[in-house]
Structure 1
Amino acid sequence: MKTRDRLLSAVAALAMATAASAQAATPGGGDPGQATPTTSDAADPAQAVAPAPIGDEIIVTAQRRSERLQDVPISLAVVAGDTLQDRSIQTFEQLAPLVPNLTIAKSPAANMIILRGIGSSPGSPSLDQSVVMFIDGIYGGNARQFSAPFLDIERLEILRGPQGALVGRNTSAGAINVISRKPGHEFGGYVNALYNFAFDGPTVEGAVDLPVSDAVRFRVAGKYSDMGGYLYNSYLDEDQPSRREAVGRIVGVVDNGGPVVVTAKYEHSDVRSNGIPMQVLAPTKGYPLDRSKDTYLQDDNEYDNIHANNASLQFDVDLGGPTLVSISGYSAFVNRSLIDADFYSGNFATAIFNQKFDQVSQELRLVSPDAGTFRYVVGGYYSDSKLMEQRTTGVLFAPPASTYREFRQNNEVYSAFGQLTAYLTSQLRLNGSLRYTHESKTAHYKRWGGPQAATDYIGVLQEAIAGDIEAGRVDPAVGIQYEFSRNAMVYATFSKGSKSGGFQGAISNATAEAFEFRPERSTSYEIGAKLTLPGVGFLNLAAFDTIYKDLQVSAQIPTNGSLTAAIFTGNAPEARVKGIEAEFSARLASFFRFDGSLSWLPQAKYVEFTSGPCYPLQEPDGSVIGSCDQSGERLGFSPRWSGAMNFTAETSLGSDLRLTGTLSPRFQSRSYRDFMNDPVTEQKSFTKLDARIAIGAEDGGWELALVGQNLTNELTVGFGGAGGLANTFLDPGAHIVTIDPPRNISVQAKIRF
């Protein structure tokens, strides 16, 4: 408690001091007539809002209405679409290093999204995410739901901490808003082509605005990528995983200047990977930590393929004051994966992971005008989703040990929410938000065994389990803001978040007694300051303390000699995280800009978890037979210090040419790359360096650039865990790990028209 009080006092004192100086420098709170540009009609990447330019306001929609970043009482990071293109960010895994306290890693079964050390574990894909993605307002709680590559993005908003009261359900740890670019009023577009020398492959992305009339306009965007891998498979003599991506999107807007604006979007993506980014780690058996593997399957290569379709229809209706917003959404994907389940050249076991998911949703919200003493957002949400999950494990030399598991889940959600902001004075405002969610889930699990269970999906029925959950929950939030001026604001918030309970999924060791796990709940306190230095930049600070009850944890556990790769899924009674985050940007000279973010996470631990999972060779000492006491242990993926910075210099070369250079160091202190504090997965402190140098036209019409990532060539672990059947066949202490990409250099060409 004393540590928290000192942290909060220090931030408050700094905020007050800076606010006082900002108020003195800008009497009256700045220029009240200053225009606030929006970005919904951006015609090309040059028009997208980015945190970098000091003269531009950064507009976000984190609270379901358009607001200045500096007015939003949330710890919020914004990444512009131009930044994603310039840094050659192709996937969500590559995004994470740009944002401290954010981790996005890949495991054999699913992706993980973790904020401030909290996120859904990878053991069971049936778990809802604790950090939810919203793509153009459409909820994406499944780990695979929006795994398509980035395409024509206007900006990303990363909201840290519980957001359930207003943003959406299940956001017990945070949310990521992805906003696509909308059609412009004039014909134009861009082409962005990149060739990566290390991965020996091209990426081509482009978009074009097609205005049919003053009232109707379209934007068509597409992307194709064919990249090689960075793990050398010595058995197959090839680099893996190679990745081929094709994605297309069309967005249409009908706006005749009347009270109704209609926006429709359809997107299709096809991602195919030859090989998976996993390698076995068993140094005593000749498998050290490096960028190599030797997996093979007799009849096929490992693969991970996903096909997805997403569509939305939005109506914005001006009611002569308030605006009614209707968003109808459809999201579906099919995922098929084949994995060498022993993770080395033994050819003893194989595994198949298949998922099929579809979701329909409808949201209605009424948004008040940005004027008056009381401003509100009220609305309702409905969704219906279906998940079918198949998993097989085939033990090739002992067919009776092979299993086929099938899991089916239906999930129906009703939700009502609202926010009221009271402008008590020109400087003081109070915020209150509330969401009620009623959720019902039904699930059916079956497991078959026998010689053909893993290949033909048949066998002897070994287990049949059914379950249902129906419950309601309330997520409130209250906050206070005080503006010393337009350039200085401090805030304090109290919020609660939650995540629904669920079922084990298609794991091999599901039992009726442990089929269901409990909901997750969070309580968070946050204070912060948002400070703008006109003509120079901004500094945003946040200090937080969040307690989680019944934190959901899922992880693969050692086989201990058996022929089944078991999964632990359960609840940690209590966990706690607290720390400080800073976002900043400063133009120190007309030709030089410095921006970035820092995080300090002094506490991130399981307060109580006496029946947690064990890592390989760990001696069980927990309150349940075979479990381990993780109480007091630090949470995985939670370095005490992390940061990302950008130093950008630009100068005119004459003849309408401009030279731009960016140096981008990013660092993390020591952390565990699993959920069990396994010393083998400990990642030491590291610093990685990205860089970019570009020459182009002064008006932005074209640009040529050289882009470097991980120039220090650091060897780092993205995720680690128990070795699955490698624990049985290779080494009881074996692990499987994902390795982050090595140094790579690309050449990039952009044309805007």
Structure 2
Amino acid sequence: MKAYQYNLLALAIATQLAIPASAQDTPAPSDSPALEEVMVTAQKRPQSLRDVPISVNALSSKKIEEAGITSVERVADYIPSFNMTQTGIGTNIAIRGISSGVNPGFEQSAAQFVDGIHFGRSQLSRAPFLDLERVEILRGPQSILFGKNSTAGAISITTAKPGTEHEAKLSYLYEPEHGEQDLRLILSGPISDTVGGRLAILDSQIDGFMENTTLGRDESGDDNRVIRATLVWQPSDLWDITLKLEDGSFDSEGRNIEVLRPVEIPSPTTGVATPYANALQFFTQGAYLLDTTHDWKRQSNGDFSYNDTENVTLTVERELGEHTLTAVTGYNAYTYDELCDCDFTGASGFNILSNEDYRQVSQEIRITSPEDGTFSYIGGLFFQSSSMDFNDAVRVPTDSFIATAFTPILGAGAANLLRGASSNRSFEQDTDLAAIFAQLTWNFTDTSRAIFGARHTTETKEASRTQYHVSNTGTILPQGSATDPYNIIWSQFKIDPHSVKGDRDESGFTPSITFQQDFWGSDMFYLSYTTGFKSGGFDVRANAAPNELDGVYPAIEGTWEFEEEKVQNFEAGTKLVLADGAAELNIAAFRSEFEDMQTSQFDGSLSFNVTNAGEAVVQGVEIDGRWAIIDNLMLRGGMAYIDFEYTDFPNSQCYFGQPDNVLPTGDGVCDATGQRREFTPELQGNVGVDYTINFSNGLKLVNTLDLIYSDEYLTTPSLDPRFSQDAYTKVNARIALSGNDDTWELAVIGKNLGDESIVSYANGLPVASTVTRGTGSGYYAFYERPRSVAVQGTIRF
């Protein structure tokens, strides 16, 4: 189906969503079905979603389970203007087009919280979902009530807690095409009169869909295991104590990457281009062809990512008269080991081996007043300490084609020194954060209120980074001088040995104000002004330091320290109940103005350098709604229109062959002012239909259809116009038969039934332009999973 047909389909769907808006002219019958109320904790107290003056979407445990949403990445299908992408060396989470970029030194623009605990690094967003109560996506700066400032929004995940009745559930999913198996067990219920417990276990595997022709296997082969135990103790009506213990792992063998779309640019001196595929064939005496279109095949010598997580959360609530005192204590940690075959071919080029050890302890104490007075408030203190130890090594195998390619430049002796050598990096950082926050609501009439909030945060960071070379005999080399052989060799890849240290001590004050007006008894309108900031820090992955700090080669300019990112957000929204309670419609219009936006810029060789981009403006409209047409038929959907523009970004990275960066005079820096950011489609939307058929014998058939639409978008951080993702509509569906009061269920789940080819991330090939003397390159691209159909069985007992 062509793109314009998809657009017409999306327009027709959006028109259907707008139908409830006219329902006030023709009141629905008194026996119209009522919508189930959605409860959220976006403001740190249980509230109806209709009463919260924030652009927020919530996915219930039922929707998460029925849609087969197994991670944060798949939440994006159902929340317009929310995206998650994996890259060659990191993970990006974006809300309204704003993300942090791939650098372990970044705080998260879209911060993730699980049971109130800040999950401070993007790697944790890859962890699988298990036994959740709900997922809330809060859009816009969240700088008052959550434990860590965020400039784009927040992902708030709430795990399921023990109930008052015994519960047991066993589910198993099998998908034969990609070898997926998913087994989940949940046991829950009272242990005594005052203690309840819940145990959740996950064991899942998948072989993958991308054929690695080098190793003869499918990729990525994922293996996930999680075990979580939750205890709730209520010694009296005044106390509520919850302890959660969790241990997990999520491992991958291989990646969903293809190398494709060769790019050739004639040499300015010879007029001849050397295609990257030809260079590989020449240096390796093998056939390594870049495809023009994808076919779910790749060449690679092997990648892996092994991740282990653990977290402990203790939540204590004590009633103090009409107030509630809450203390949330958290320990969160992970380790990972990753190997990236980062030339992304089956040729022996180079790889990057990295590992990270992250530990975090946090404490929040807050007091909450009753909500029904003229004045109500929430206030508290927050503390967090964390440590990170990161190491990586760029390694050149003994049979590397890169060493062969550099023989004419370096000479045979120097090129042989490169074989088996590596350039290593170590980074350490300690961070301490303290904050005081308060939010006051003034109900100056029965239907009007003003909400004032503020947070003062102080944060200190101490960090060090060392870049050093290791010889082909395994000897760690000193920094040395510009004439040392290994320094000369690695300087060709813009790597400069150095050792730097730094410390930061910064603070920020983030006020907000919201006006909220209720009308017609069930509807609400709000206006808000919010501010936010994301703290600065230190670049983990740069291969060179700024020349004023250290380094051997003045011509290789690296990065070290970057400044905080700031935002002002203006928003107006309304939440409407229509059709006599059978429908609801939420609309939000916003404008976010960013200063010193933090970005990660590929240097064209092997490094990502952090820089502050300058200024950007993001504005748009978000709409979502539900309509219970009849008791057993529900229509739901949402859309987001996003307008993103860099208003001042003179130091963006250049894409390969960009006209104002042509060798030999190009310096790799291009002006992106006026450009749109990658992964920001102008229009995103989804629509879903749930239709239930109840049979007289007690059986029930639930049919669900979801259409997910995205406009075209750029896929590369360099904003390369030659590689964009076309507009698409993805189709997901589920048919489930259940009986005996839902004690059993058998379901068929189809995802991406139209078999759309969707690129979630792409970038230029590392070292390709270097090997071809700047005349040939290509792209590596991450693809989403193609069509899959799975069978799932569930037993409740």
TM-score over 0.5 for the pair: yes
Deviations 1:606-638 (A, max 9, x none): 111011111222244699943000000001111
Partners in 2 of 1:54 and 1:149 — Cα distance? 33
Q: For 1:244-259, list aligned pairs within 5 A.
A: 244-259=223-238
Q: Kindly indicate whether the alpha-carbon contact (under 8 Å) linking 1:579 and 1:600 is maintained by their aligned counterparts in 2.
A: yes
Check 1:273–1:18 CA distance in 2 against 1; reply closer, same or farther (3 A cut): closer
Deviations 1:431-478 (A, max 9, x none): 01101110001110001113259xx69333421011111011011110
Q: For 1:143-292, list aligned pairs within 5 A.
A: 143-283=122-262, 285=277, 286-288=289-291, 289-292=293-296
Partners in 1 of 2:55 and 2:676 — Cα distance? 23
The amino acid that maps onto 1:82 is: K
Partners in 1 of 2:202 and 2:462 — Cα distance? 38
Partners in 2 of 1:479 and 1:24 — Cα distance? 33
Check 1:387–1:486 CA distance in 2 against 1; reply closer, same or farther (3 A cut): farther
Deviations 1:168-223 (A, max 9, x none): 42310000000000001121121121111222121011211141112101000010
Aligned to 2:791: 747
Q: Kindly indicate whether the alpha-carbon contact (under 8 Å) linking 1:129 and 1:142 is maintained by their aligned counterparts in 2.
A: yes
Deviations 1:360-407 (A, max 9, x none): 000001011122100100011000000111111012244546200011
1:584 aligns with 2:630: no
Larger displacement relative to structure 2 (317-326 or 287-296): 287-296
Aligned to 1:14: none
The amino acid that maps onto 1:223 is: L
- Compute the displacement of 1:514 (Å): 2.8
Q: Kindly indicate whether the alpha-carbon contact (under 8 Å) linking 1:316 and 1:324 is maintained by their aligned counterparts in 2.
A: yes
Q: Kindly indicate whether the alpha-carbon contact (under 8 Å) linking 2:604 and 2:668 is maintained by their aligned counterparts in 1.
A: no
Check 1:316–1:548 CA distance in 2 against 1; reply closer, same or farther (3 A cut): same
| 2:735 equivalent among 654, 668, 693 | 693
1:502 aligns with 2:537: yes
Deviations 1:260-283 (A, max 9, x none): 110000111111111122332343
Aligned to 2:562: 517
Q: Kindly indicate whether the alpha-carbon contact (under 8 Å) linking 1:23 and 1:484 is maintained by their aligned counterparts in 2.
A: no
Q: For 1:283-302, list aligned pairs within 5 A.
A: 283=262, 285=277, 286-288=289-291, 289-297=293-301, 301-302=302-303
Q: For 1:457-476, list aligned pairs within 5 A.
A: 458-461=476-479, 462-476=497-511
Q: Kindly indicate whether the alpha-carbon contact (under 8 Å) linking 1:621 and 1:629 is maintained by their aligned counterparts in 2.
A: no
Check 1:726–1:206 CA distance in 2 against 1; reply closer, same or farther (3 A cut): farther
Aligned to 2:369: 368
Q: Kindly indicate whether the alpha-carbon contact (under 8 Å) linking 2:450 and 2:514 is maintained by their aligned counterparts in 1.
A: yes
Aligned to 1:532: 577
Aligned to 2:465: 445
Larger displacement relative to structure 2 (251-260 or 238-247): 251-260
1:553 aligns with 2:599: yes
**Looking at CA atoms only, which structure, 1 or 2, has the larger radius of gyration?**
2
1:85 aligns with 2:89: no
Aligned to 2:319: 318
Partners in 1 of 2:472 and 2:116 — Cα distance? 44
Partners in 2 of 1:449 and 1:713 — Cα distance? 46
The amino acid that maps onto 2:657 is: L
**What's the TM-score, normalizing by structure 1?**
0.90
Partners in 2 of 1:410 and 1:688 — Cα distance? 43
- Compute the displacement of 1:234 (Å): 1.0
Check 1:370–1:452 CA distance in 2 against 1; reply closer, same or farther (3 A cut): farther
| 2:590 equivalent among 544, 560, 564 | 544
Larger displacement relative to structure 2 (698-707 or 273-282): 273-282
Deviations 1:133-165 (A, max 9, x none): 000000112111343200001100000011112
Check 1:363–1:19 CA distance in 2 against 1; reply closer, same or farther (3 A cut): farther
Q: Kindly indicate whether the alpha-carbon contact (under 8 Å) linking 1:279 and 1:737 is maintained by their aligned counterparts in 2.
A: yes
| 2:684 equivalent among 633, 639, 642 | 642
The amino acid that maps onto 2:294 is: D
- Compute the displacement of 1:230 (Å): 1.2
The amino acid that maps onto 1:655 is: N
Which runs of 5 or more residues in structure 2 are unaligned? 1-18, 264-276, 278-288, 404-416, 480-496, 550-557
Partners in 2 of 1:253 and 1:674 — Cα distance? 47
Partners in 2 of 1:452 and 1:136 — Cα distance? 48
1:432 aligns with 2:482: no
Partners in 1 of 2:666 and 2:153 — Cα distance? 32
Aligned to 1:613: 653
Partners in 2 of 1:508 and 1:96 — Cα distance? 33
Q: Kindly indicate whether the alpha-carbon contact (under 8 Å) linking 2:310 and 2:334 is maintained by their aligned counterparts in 1.
A: yes
Q: Kindly indicate whether the alpha-carbon contact (under 8 Å) linking 1:447 and 1:464 is maintained by their aligned counterparts in 2.
A: yes
Aligned to 1:335: 336
The amino acid that maps onto 2:748 is: L
Partners in 2 of 1:424 and 1:674 — Cα distance? 50
- Compute the displacement of 1:678 (Å): 1.1
Q: Kindly indicate whether the alpha-carbon contact (under 8 Å) linking 1:280 and 1:736 is maintained by their aligned counterparts in 2.
A: yes
Q: For 1:390-409, list aligned pairs within 5 A.
A: 390-396=391-397, 397=400, 398=403, 399-400=417-418, 402-409=422-429
The amino acid that maps onto 2:351 is: T
Aligned to 2:271: none
Aligned to 1:39: none
Which runs of 5 or more residues in structure 1 are unaligned? 1-16, 31-52, 560-564
Partners in 2 of 1:652 and 1:696 — Cα distance? 10
Larger displacement relative to structure 2 (168-177 or 504-513): 504-513
1:567 aligns with 2:608: yes
Q: Kindly indicate whether the alpha-carbon contact (under 8 Å) linking 1:183 and 1:218 is maintained by their aligned counterparts in 2.
A: yes
Partners in 2 of 1:570 and 1:639 — Cα distance? 24
Question: SS of 1:391's equivalent?
Answer: strand
Q: Kindly indicate whether the alpha-carbon contact (under 8 Å) linking 1:186 and 1:211 is maintained by their aligned counterparts in 2.
A: yes
Aligned to 2:641: 600
Partners in 2 of 1:353 and 1:687 — Cα distance? 37
Identity across aligned pairs (percent)?
30
Deviations 1:649-700 (A, max 9, x none): 1111221101111110000011112333212331111111001111111622
- Compute the displacement of 1:22 (Å): 6.1
Larger displacement relative to structure 2 (342-351 or 276-285): 276-285
The amino acid that maps onto 1:568 is: N
The amino acid that maps onto 1:514 is: T
Aligned to 1:35: none
Deviations 1:92-134 (A, max 9, x none): 2222121111110101221110011111112x12211100000
The amino acid that maps onto 1:424 is: F
- Compute the displacement of 1:734 (Å): 2.0
1:725 aligns with 2:754: no
Aligned to 1:100: 80
- Compute the displacement of 1:293 (Å): 4.3
Check 1:670–1:88 CA distance in 2 against 1; reply closer, same or farther (3 A cut): same
Aligned to 1:412: 432
Q: Kindly indicate whether the alpha-carbon contact (under 8 Å) linking 1:113 and 1:120 is maintained by their aligned counterparts in 2.
A: yes
The amino acid that maps onto 1:629 is: D
Partners in 1 of 2:382 and 2:601 — Cα distance? 32
Deviations 1:691-732 (A, max 9, x none): 111111162211111000000001010011121234434774
Partners in 1 of 2:261 and 2:559 — Cα distance? 32
Partners in 1 of 2:566 and 2:295 — Cα distance? 39
The amino acid that maps onto 1:119 is: S
Partners in 2 of 1:88 and 1:20 — Cα distance? 34
- Compute the displacement of 1:21 (Å): 8.0
Check 1:448–1:221 CA distance in 2 against 1; reply closer, same or farther (3 A cut): same
The amino acid that maps onto 2:205 is: D
Partners in 2 of 1:333 and 1:672 — Cα distance? 32
